[in-house]
Amino acid sequence: MSDFAAPIAQQIWEMKYRFQPQDGAGADETVDDTWRRIARALASVEDDPALWEDRFHAALSEFKFLPAGRIVAGAGTGRTVTLFNCFVMGTIPDSLGGIFDALREAALTMQQGGGIGYDFSTIRPKGAPVAGVGADASGPLSFMDVWDSMCRTIMSAGARRGAMMATMRCDHPDIEDFITAKQDSTRLRNFNLSVLVSDAFMEAVEAGHTWDLTFGGTVYRTVKARDLWDLIMRSTYDYAEPGVIFIDRINRRNNLYYAEEIAATNPCGEQPLPPYGACLLGSINLARLVTEPFTDDAALDEGALTELVAMAVRMMDNVVDSSRFPLPEQQDEAQAKRRIGLGVTGLADALLMVGQRYGSVEAAQQTEHWLHQIARASYLASAQLAAEKGPFPLFDAEAFLGSETMMEMDADVRRAVSKHGIRNALLTSIAPTGTISLFAGNVSSGIEPVFAYSYTRKVLQKDGTRTEEDVVDYAVKLYRDLHGDGPLPDYFVNAQTLAPSDHVRMQAAAQKWIDSSISKTINCPADIDFETFKDVYLQAWNTGCKGCTTYRPNAVTGSVLSVDTPAEPTVEMPQFDAPIARPDAVDGMTYKIKWPDSEHAIYITLNDVVVDGLRRPLEIFINSKNMEHFAWTVALTRMISAVFRRGGDVSFVVGELKAVFDPRGGAWMQGKYVPSILAAIGGVIERHMIAIEFLPAQGSTLSPDPVAPQISTTKPGPACPSCGAYELRMLEGCLTCGSCGFSKCS
């Protein structure tokens, strides 16, 4: 089947992946053209391109193998883009010149669309002496602010949105400031933050010992390890950041432990990488490999899985040779180690198809078995590639086979690697697949549970209107097609009904056979108590996970679920037959907005008039010393005032302004996410209309999922910066829009 499995899949293809050059030559007319374009590009480095093009095309068809979005969008287009998803940049020197050289490299990488990760532990702490200039250091957080501004500037220039990960070691003297940095709602908005937690620190936490904060061999302070751990936990409990990365476990289990030291990850955390390391991602769509779904004979076709994995490994290895790179150091690193990150998507759907409840012991065992098969097939395929094309340049047989991961690998795999070497230093990773999973027909994302069985998506039409369509999970739709619209079996569960321990169980089961790491969000209920919440992280540590990311809905983070919003109650408004004349004197109020990152405040004056006993807005004035705003504030003032003076129900102005989103991102203001300055102005007008009783005060709640317990909140969470819908969800450690497929990290 080469047709789209759902309307949303075609829309995602047309928005993000369809190649449509300006001259029309070589455009993708169908999705099969897209598969053919990718297959041809990746086969071009083979000795027999025609043979491998057909084989690659077969693997891509029916959405069975899904290369990461940059490959789908860029391969074979001739555009100057990288096919690698993201990078960890070089080690930041502890000098001003070195720091700004690193900033330049980051800007060049982000300009080509690469997300970046950085370890800021190498910068001396705030207050440390700076030799030769008689000054004290400003600390790593101050330079992170510079990186954040750079990212915002790159995006405002029209480049692809960027994503950044910042890490800091748990023994850095500024670690407490790092942990709490994003509690300031205006700071580091373009960063994800994670603490590099060592084995020694976890042992100190468990034993109740003290913990030294050091830099350059100097102990700056000593704290209680449990107090520092609680600070991390309290921040992520309240603010969903920072994440936790078990860095010693990552380095210990790294196949390349003998050739590199890892101190950072890509923005979503599934690829721990050395300096200048790059992540190359792709996913096997398990939902497409289940035979006889929802019957007693349902099973994953493991023979087809093995063949598909082998083809995917070869395709991804070819990307290393066919991709461009923003920096020569990144190309050298990629070609020296040839690491790839083959993962899965549709896991939860595949489990449903074979009758398994996601999060159960049985489902975890099934997951471990499937991923073991993928690991076997990946390593055997890479060994065969090494026999044909040669192993990766830094391959050392004795050292490689002595890694923890290889020591646990099957005997026949070890024999193949010993005989032929291996083409790729690392092979498996489970990445965010938010947009790609929508493209494949709304299969469940990565190894996440089904988020919602269905939701309503608003689609912007060419004439500016919006229509609504139902988006149904792939497995749920298949079950309905086979068995009708009766109640779903009790093994159908979703992200909102699972206990956090179920999430951790699934992550740990998958991690056993993943040589890199996993992007996964552990959704926690809003009312989980703090001690139980901390146990989630200890469970992740004790069961072999390489990191842990949680999301607990609250007044700061917003709601996890936004499925169906009830219609706004109808408010009877007075009708006015004629425009309203302005009296000589009017009453009004002035409001002040201080938009984050703006030097000057905006002042909004709303004047009112009483008509037929009802006070209503008559005119608006918007003033600011920021001349950048002058033209549009004047235009907005005149247009809104004209609308007010026309009479009638002018409350629609509020809705129109509040729906405006800024593609550069909005801001948190007084505990609420506001998607743009115009939306903030709309909020002021709404507040004024409520104050003068022109509008009634209204709250908002979420309606229940028809197949899940009700989840209500007075805050819909942040709006999507791409489409403006309040459909952002935390998936695989990354905010992802269920309406348009936008992902903060891709």
Q: How far is 696 from 699, CA to CA, in rounded Å?
A: 10
Residue 572 in tokens: 């009877």
Options 270, 448, 619, 727, the catalytic residue: 270
Reply yes or no on whether 607 is catalytic: no
- 426, 280 in Cβ contact below 8 A? no
Residue 93: how many CB atoms within 10 A of its CB?
14
**Which residues share a beta bridge with 345?**
285
- 119, 167 in Cβ contact below 8 A? yes
- 279, 341 in Cβ contact below 8 A? yes
- 193, 143 in Cβ contact below 8 A? no
- 68, 244 in Cβ contact below 8 A? no
CA angle 378, 384, 388 (to 5 degrees): 140
Task: With residue 4 as reference, give the H or E element that holds it.
Answer: none
**CA-CA distances (angstroms) from residue 627 to 598, 605, 679?**
12, 18, 20
Q: How far is 244 from 228, CA to CA, in rounded Å?
A: 13
Q: How far is 163 from 743, CA to CA, in rounded Å?
A: 10
Q: How far is 482 from 247, CA to CA, in rounded Å?
A: 46
Options 151, 170, 268, 740, the catalytic residue: 268
Q: What is the largest CA-CA distance in the chain?
A: 94
Task: Report the Cα–Cα distance between both ends of the chain, in Å, rounded.
Answer: 27
- 348, 339 in Cβ contact below 8 A? no
Residue 204 in tokens: 């100190």
- CB-based contacts of 68: which residues, under 8 Å, 6+ apart? 85, 280, 281, 282, 283, 431, 436, 746
Residue 54: φ, ψ to 5°:
-65, -40
Reply yes or no on whether 266 is catalytic: yes
Options 266, 442, 554, 607, the catalytic residue: 266
Residue 714 in tokens: 């007075």
Active site residues: 266, 268, 270
